[in-house]
Amino acid sequence: MVLKNKECVWRKFGVFFVAISFILMGCGEVEEVTQEEQPQGKKPMLTQASKEAEDPMEEVLRNFVGDLETTSESKSSGKLAPAQMAQYEKEMEQLRTENTELKQKLIKLEQENRGINARLAEVEAKYAAEKLRADKAEELAKGTAVAVQPPTVQPSVEEPSEPAPTAAVTISSSTYDEAIKAFNSHKYKEAETKFKALAESADNPKVKNRATYWLGETYYATKRYKEALNKFQETLKYKQSEKKADAQFMIAQTYERLGDVAKAKAAYEKFIKNYPMSKNIKRAKDRLSKL
């Protein structure tokens, strides 16, 4: 826009000088004729032609100065032409739209990630349940092999009661699977009840620890952040916990939701340092960079 204004000024400037050149040439010829006709000692008088020639010159000069002043005022005031202003507004609106779309995509990705984590947890839960059953069966088999039975004594009727722990494990595993399904279906009240029961009474420490972690996830999903933080911290206390990385990441997330930026930063840094191979490492670095 500035370049166009400069070109316009130079063009007018050229026209102005061409006009002045022609006018001066005309004035010179008139003056020579006048001097020849006037007696010596007398001041030459301006002819009607010279007076008429001054009018267009003054008009050109006025127009040129006016254009310069207008250009200078427009330049100094910083006002934009309507077309340029409309273009800027269009670009700003486009940026707002793109920003909104990016936010929506980010929310969608976070939801998908949580869904993937939940499905992974479900698979891990089934694996843990099967492993638990196998361990119990192995322990039972070892106990049966070591036990010495008197040859004359008939087996007791109460002997089949030995597999009772396996039944208890089956109930716990089934409850855990149901709790995970309830969580994935956003039935948080049902999930909370089942996870809480497992966290308090599950026979297997690993199942209990997993239930404690997912109880924290349930509290987090329902925005009960202080209760969620307590459960995530409790998860870390179990040395053999398989959910330590997830719990540490969720501690950082929870501090961020609570508005404690300093603790959130410290928690993210601890997570990045201690669990560099975690599936959430990229998200943690991204969140930390924005705090």
Q: Is the pLDDT of residue 169 over 70?
A: no
Task: DSSP letter for 161, please.
Answer: G
- Each residue's pLDDT tens digit, 218-269: 999 999 999 999 999 999 999 889 999 999 999 999 999 999 999 999 999 9
Lowest mean pLDDT among 115-119, 151-155, 283-287: 151-155
Phi, then psi, of 258 in degrees rounded to 5: -80, -5
Q: Is the pLDDT of residue 49 over 90?
A: no
Residue 159 banded pLDDT, cuts 50, 70, 90: very low
For the entire predicted model, the pTM comes to 0.45
pLDDT for the residue 79: 56
> Residue 132: CB partners within 8 Å, gap ≥ 6?
169, 173, 204, 206, 207
Lowest mean pLDDT among 5-9, 35-39, 119-123: 35-39
DSSP letters spanning 256-272 = HHTT-HHHHHHHHHHHH
Cβ atoms within 10 Å of 31's Cβ, excluding its own: 14
Q: Determine if residue 43 is left, alpha or beta; phi over 0 gives left, psi from -120 to 50 gives alpha, anything else beta.
A: beta
**Range among 7-11, 17-21, 130-134, 258-262 with highest mean pLDDT value:** 258-262
Angle at alpha carbon of residue 61, lines to 55 and 66, rounded to 5°:
125
